[in-house]
Amino acid sequence: MFLKVSIPVKKNNTNNTLLDILHKQVRPALGCTEPIAVALAVATAKKYISGNIKKISVVVDKNVYKNGARVTIPGTKMIGLDYAASLGATCGNPDKGLEVLEAVSEKDIETAKKYIKENRIEVKLDREKDMLYISAKIVSLKGYAICTIENEHTNITFIETNGRIIKDNKIQTVVNETKNEIQNYSLKDFKKFADTVRLEDISVIKKAVEINSEIAIKGMKNKENFAYQLREVFIEEGGNPENSILDYPKILAEAGVYERMSGAKKLVMTVAGSGNQGLAATLPLIAIKKIKKFDDEKLFRAIILSCLITIYIKSFTGVLSPMCGSGVAAGSAVSGAITYMMDGTLNQIKIAVNNSIGALAGMVCDGGKRGCAFKISGAVSIAVEGALLALRNAGIPDRDGIVRKNVKETIKNLGYLNNQGMASVDNCIIDILFNKQ
């Protein structure tokens, strides 16, 4: 999940550490990150073997399997991990990371379809793998090559070709055995950082506004997009959603997510390994900035806070989880950031995060697909309401469900609910998706 394992942290190093975390956790990607990571593994394996491809075998964990089942590959109308693997072999550029399929063409698509038709692609599920796991093996007329990605979408831990080990970092890979680095900090630290950091040190935030806005604006013009249709409903009822703080944030977020899940060939700035989390953490703030006519600095600093809180929550729930990270983690984070953007106090920011977690906890992830847009719309609606209530010091009381007055304890409870209480959810979802229930 791009997060480092915990080491002792001195508070005077807070800025450097949080800057480092943001630079590693806020990254551009083309397409849904799970199928893209599959394409990256295959493309990397292909880099180390030549000759005509006879077979591509991919093994993935249940979360990658689930999230890639129904999402459209960017620049195509192809759906599923088998097509992602096939495209990784036909046109993937492993040096491009999460933009591995940037150069996909119609010719590449036809070749990928040919591989599928000829049964050269095989994707298997390993239900025993708990963390992000992708292992791709290409067999050609000249031998074989294997590439394994673990724990993070771009974290290549193993490469082998024809018996020769090129890379083997498996022994060094430690995931969540100790607290993640960001867990040494608090919302107070995140707010102080957002208040004081030099914006020129985080150019990625400005880029996030640019590219996430682009895909959302594209979505608002697409008649098939849920957001386009919802906007039409508001207009028919005599309203103008672009002027409503209750409506425009959710519509803009919905527009961006729908486009991404539909295979739009547009970059999105991810947060904590997810493009939908990136959209949910930024687009509501961009919408409110437009409505309230805030300046760019206020927007950028609010997005910094939103990203940090998202990463913080995800450090407790995991990079991929049974719970919808975009709705629950990013939705709760953006609620705190909305409160911050509207000059809320630290305590009000905490109330907003608690409000949203209390309402959103348990929202299930049933894979990446167009329907994610509905979920994000609902989550953002709650996030806005939670923020507006927090600004009036109205919040869910202590020990009301999983909510605790100490917001870190609420987030810990969320992690426990996700990791322990919902442990069997992914297997159930997979059974449902593939009609095995």
pLDDT tens-digit map of 305-357? 999 999 999 999 998 889 999 999 999 999 999 999 999 999 999 999 999 99
H/E stretch holding 53 = strand 53-60
Give the confidence band of 170 by pLDDT, cuts at 50, 70, 90.
low
Q: How far apart are CA 327 and CA 313, in angstroms?
A: 12
* Residue with token string 């895909």: 215
Q: 294 forms bridges with which residues in the sheet? A: none
Q: To 5 degrees, how large is the angle CA 255–CA 282–CA 219?
A: 15
Summarize the confidence of residues 81-90 as an average pLDDT.
Answer: 96
Predicted TM-score (pTM) of this structure: 0.91
CA–CA distance from 405 to each of 354, 360, 382 (Å)?
A: 8, 17, 19
| Mean model confidence pLDDT for the chain | 93
Q: How far apart are CA 274 and CA 156, in angstroms?
A: 18
How many CB atoms sit inside 10 A of residue 342's CB? 19
CA–CA distance from 374 to each of 149, 157, 331, 334 (Å)?
A: 30, 35, 13, 17
What single letter denotes the amino acid at residue 378? G
pLDDT in tens, 241-279: 999 999 999 999 999 999 999 999 999 999 999 999 999
Q: DSSP 3-state assignment of 392?
A: coil
- Please tell me the predicted confidence (pLDDT) of residue 208: 98
Summarize the confidence of residues 284-309 as an average pLDDT.
Answer: 98
- Please tell me the predicted confidence (pLDDT) of residue 9: 43
Catalogue all structural domains in the chain, each as residue range(s) with its CATH number.
33-168 (3.30.1330), 185-433 (1.10.4100.10)
- Contact between 161 and 149 (Cβ < 8 Å): no
- Please tell me the predicted confidence (pLDDT) of residue 12: 53
The length of the chain is 437
More confident residue, 321 or 283: 283
Q: How far apart are CA 192 and CA 212, in angstroms?
A: 25
Give the confidence band of 5 by pLDDT, cuts at 50, 70, 90.
very low
**C-alpha 126: how far from chain center:** 22
